[in-house]
Amino acid sequence: MFDPWRQRCTKIKDYILPLVFAKRLCDVFDDEIDRIAVELGSRKKALALPRQDEQQKIVNALDSIEDKTQVALRKQAVLQDLFRTLLHQLMTVKTRVHDLELPIQ
């Protein structure tokens, strides 16, 4: 059965809901900028980007963190492989626990 009212409501819904969503995003953004502006003293400061040298410092810090993360992940992989190998040797009696020299800390 053809229902023209339902068809019109669907078209209106498909048009209105994205607009309402976009409006909500704008409102939340404005509220957040206003909150930051109160902390910094002005809306202009809240919207300002850091100077070029500050941006470069941020990039360098993030690059350093990324490098350290990659090193830590590689160390973790090596230690996991070492653990698996040692566990396999212990389980297959290729190595005995009393033969291991482990420093006590």
* Residue 100 pLDDT greater than 80, yes or no: no
**pTM, rounded to two decimals:** 0.48
Give the integer Cα–Cα distance in Å for 70 and 82: 18
* Residue 1 pLDDT greater than 70, yes or no: no
What DSSP character marks residue 47? H
Instruction: Tell me the C-alpha to C-alpha distance, in Å, between residue 50 and each of 32, 42, 57, 64.
Output: 18, 15, 10, 19
What does the pLDDT look like over 45-94, one tens digit per residue? Answer: 888 888 899 999 999 999 999 999 999 999 999 999 999 998 898 888 87
* Residue 17 pLDDT greater than 90, yes or no: no
Instruction: Tell me the C-alpha to C-alpha distance, in Å, between residue 15 and each of 6, 8, 12, 19, 23.
Output: 14, 11, 5, 7, 13
Q: How confident is the model at residue 23 (pLDDT cuts 50, 70, 90)?
A: very high
Q: Which two tokens stand for residue 40?
A: 């910094």
Question: 37-46, 64-73, 95-104: which has the minimum mean pLDDT?
Answer: 95-104
Q: Look at residue 65 and give its three-state secondary structure.
A: helix
